[in-house]
Structure 1
């Protein structure tokens, strides 16, 4: 099985995966990245601040896939 690394980045962290994990193929690695992003997104949304979060998949030093999510919160002031 191929060995993949999932790196995480947000406004405060740039975490490089040094251990990696074995996954069946590139599509399973992309699914793992989406799942990781979804989990982190929940934490960022609850924190309540704007954020850009990203997960990058590598096989060794070679990037294969990345998924990025921007979270913004807009508040509207009503007159009246």
Structure 2
């Protein structure tokens, strides 16, 4: 069985629930959910917890903005 949170471990329909939890403690909920869902759709992975743990999802972790900042929350 794949470790939960691993790259490609989610089905697209699971992204909303995982992102809801990932963004549950931020004060910037709308942008967090927007980018988390976009990243999850591409990577089929959301890191565990509400912050950090991005090493669990290299695709999610390595996707950067034009400015070189992390795209995924």
TM-score (norm 2): 0.29
Q: Which has the larger radius of gyration?
A: 1
Q: If each structure's helix is expressed as a fraction of its own residues, which one has the higher value? A: 2
Q: If each structure's strand is expressed as a fraction of its own residues, which one has the higher value? A: 1
